[in-house]
Amino acid sequence: MKTRALPTLALLCAVGLAATACSDPTAGDSASDSKQTAVDPTARLDGVKLTMWTAQNTVNAPKQVIDAFEKATGAKVETQAIPDLYEQNVPTKLASGDRPDLMFWQPSISTLPFIQPQQNLLTLDGEPWVSKLGDTEKSLGVIDGKRYAAIVTSPAMLGVYYNKDVFKEAGLSEKDFPKSYDELLALGRTVKDKTDAAGFYEAGGDKWPLQWQMQIQLTDLDKQWWAGLNENKEKWTDPVVVGAIKKYKDKLLDAGLAQKNYRTGTFTGQADALWKGEAGMVLNVTSFQSQLQAKYSTADIDKKIGWFPIANFSATGLYSPDQTNGVVAFKTGDEKRQNAARQFLAFWLGPDYADYIKAMKIPSVQPSVPTPDGLPQTSKAQVAALPKAIGVFQAKAIVAPDTHLYLADMIFGKKSPQQVAQAIQDQFAQVAKAQGAPGF
Question: pLDDT, tens digit, for every residue of 193-227?
Answer: 999 999 999 999 999 999 999 999 999 999 999 99
Instruction: Kindly state the DSSP code that residue 438 receives in the 8-state scheme.
Output: T
Cα 209 to Cα 231: distance, rounded to the nearest angstrom: 28
Considering the domain architecture, whether residues 162 and 138 belong to the same structural domain is answered as no
Considering the domain architecture, whether residues 67 and 216 belong to the same structural domain is answered as no
What are residue 55's phi and psi, to 5 degrees? -75, 160
Considering the domain architecture, whether residues 72 and 186 belong to the same structural domain is answered as no
Beta carbons within 8 Å of 239's beta carbon, 6+ residues apart: none
Amino acid (1-letter code) at residue 28: G
Other residues' Cβ atoms within 10 Å of the Cβ of residue 68:
18
CATH of the domain at 20: 3.40.190.10
Task: Yes or no: say if 202 and 274 are a contact pair by the CB < 8 Å rule.
Answer: no
Instruction: Give the model confidence (pLDDT) of 386-425 as tens digits.
Output: 999 999 999 999 999 999 999 999 999 999 999 999 999 9
Any domain includes 2: no
Considering the domain architecture, whether residues 408 and 315 belong to the same structural domain is answered as yes
Considering the domain architecture, whether residues 293 and 343 belong to the same structural domain is answered as no
Any domain includes 389: no
Any domain includes 289: yes
Any domain includes 440: no
Considering the domain architecture, whether residues 179 and 169 belong to the same structural domain is answered as yes
CA atoms within 13 A on the CB side of 73: 29
pLDDT over 90 at 362, yes or no:
yes
Any domain includes 36: yes
pLDDT value, residue 321: 94
Cα 83 to Cα 53: distance, rounded to the nearest angstrom: 10
**DSSP per residue, 152-216:** -SPPEEEEEEEEHHHHHHTT--GGG--SSHHHHHHHHHHHHHHSSSEEE---TTT-GGGHHHHHH
Instruction: Give the model confidence (pLDDT) of 152-161 as tens digits.
Output: 999 999 999 9
Instruction: Give the model confidence (pLDDT) of 87-126 as tens digits.
Output: 889 999 999 999 999 999 999 999 999 899 999 999 999 9
Q: What is the mean pLDDT of residues 28-55?
A: 80
Instruction: Give the model confidence (pLDDT) of 125-181 as tens digits.
Output: 999 999 999 999 999 999 999 999 999 999 999 999 999 999 999 999 999 999 999
Any domain includes 39: yes
pLDDT over 70 at 426, yes or no:
yes
Considering the domain architecture, whether residues 23 and 117 belong to the same structural domain is answered as yes
Share of the chain above pLDDT 70, in %: 92
Mean pLDDT of the chain: 92
pLDDT over 80 at 18, yes or no:
no
| Beta-bridge partners for 49 | 76
Query: Which range of residues forms the domain containing residue 275?
Result: 157-319+394-434
pLDDT value, residue 23: 34
Q: State the DSSP H helix or E strand holding residue 329, giving kind and residue range, or none if neither.
A: strand 326-329
Other residues' Cβ atoms within 10 Å of the Cβ of residue 368:
9
pLDDT value, residue 12: 52
23 burial type by CB count under 10 A (0-12 exposed, 13-18 middle, 19+ buried): exposed
Any domain includes 269: yes
Any domain includes 244: yes
pLDDT over 70 at 3, yes or no:
no
Cα 109 to Cα 92: distance, rounded to the nearest angstrom: 19
pLDDT over 70 at 47, yes or no:
yes
pLDDT value, residue 35: 54
